[in-house]
Copies of this chain bind each other. A is one copy, B any other.
Amino acid sequence: MFNPVETPPVKPTGETGSATQQAYAALRRMIVIGELSPGEKLKIDTLRKTLDTGASPVREALSLLVSDQLVERLDQRGFRTASASRGNFEEILMLRCHLEEMALRRSITSGNQNWEESLVLAHHRMGRQNRDDVEAFEERHKAFHMALLSACDSPILLKFCNQLYDLNVRYRYLAGRASGYQKRDVSNEHADILAATVERNANLAVERLISHYRQTGDFLTAQFDTPE
């Protein structure tokens, strides 16, 4: 009998997943890219209309976002986006340096050849992505950084890193790409991190990774002092 090419789990409609997950993805994106400002009140009814869905999915999506620390819940006064502050940013940076160091070291220790190749691939894809499409580039940038840590063999650690990464990206968007952001040549930094990692030189790789974060971090911190 002809195998009908195996019907893929393509949803009848082109949409993705449940209403809750759609709302979650949409809200998450809006918060990370700054379409929703820090500390902004999130009225259920407004969001319901914006996302064209019911109140339940919105409410559930917001609950999920609370755990990501992108949304704060106020007792019985609804939700608001997480506030942004210099202190919060520095905290995120500090934790990222610690946790990603841990994850990277473990990855380098236990990563196999398959992991190694996935790194090269992720790096290549990032390089090929036109940087004018900011969101697309950010996606590949994240993919590269997460690939570095992906072999750490600790789902929880990976989850923490992922969370912190997103919180950090938000600050990048908030700072705006203005003011000559990205004047530095980050491409070289990425290449150097990749090289040290592939060579399994943990100390060097960690040093480069952290230096990479600290430099962009210092830049963003400076933005807090010069509001405009």
CA distance A69 to B68 in the complex (A): 12
B67:A156 contact, CB within 8 angstroms: no
Mark out the residues of chain A between 58 and 81 whose CB falls within 8 Å of any chain B CB in the assembled complex.
59-60, 63-64, 66-69, 75-76
A157 contacts B66, C-beta separation under 8 Å: no
The verdict on A154 contacting chain B, using a C-beta distance below 8 Å, is yes
A156 in contact with B60 (CB, 8 Å)? no
Q: Is A17 interfacial (CB 8 A cutoff)?
A: yes
For residue A179, CB closer than 8 A to chain B, the reply is no
Which bucket holds chain A's interface residue count?
Answer: 20 to 34
Query: Within the complex, which residue of B64, B92, B95, B98 is in contact with A67, where a contact is CB–CB below 8 Å?
Result: B64
Interface: A160 (CB within 8 A): yes
Q: How many copies does the complex hold?
A: 2
Residues of B within 8 A of A60 (CB): 59-60, 63
**A95 and B157 contacting across the interface, CB-CB below 8 Å:** yes
A156 and B91 contact, CB distance less than 8 A: yes
* Residue of chain B at shortest CB distance from A60: B63
Which B residues touch A102, using CB under 8 A? 98
A51 contacts the other chain (CB 8 A)? no
- Cβ contact within 8 Å between B63 and A95: no
Q: Does A94 contact B (CB under 8 A)?
A: yes
Q: Contact between A95 and B17 (Cβ–Cβ < 8 Å)? A: no
Over the window 93-125 of chain A, the binary record of Cβ atoms lying under 8 Å from chain B Cβ atoms (1 yes, 0 no) is 011001000100000000000000000000000
Shortest Cβ distance from A64 into B: residue: B63
Interface 0/1 of A24-42, CB less than 8 Å to B: 0000000000000000000
Cβ–Cβ contact B69 & A66, under 8 A: no
A18 at interface (Cβ–Cβ under 8 A)? yes
Inter-chain contacts of A63 with B (CB < 8 A):
60, 63-64
- Given A66-B67, A91-B156, A91-B157, 9 other A-B residues pairs in contact with their CB atoms under 8 A: A17-B75, A17-B76, A56-B56, A59-B60, A67-B67, A67-B68, A69-B156, A69-B159, A160-B160
What would be 12 A-B contacts, judged by CB atoms less than 8 Å apart?
A17-B75, A18-B76, A56-B56, A56-B59, A59-B60, A63-B63, A63-B64, A66-B67, A67-B67, A67-B68, A94-B154, A160-B160
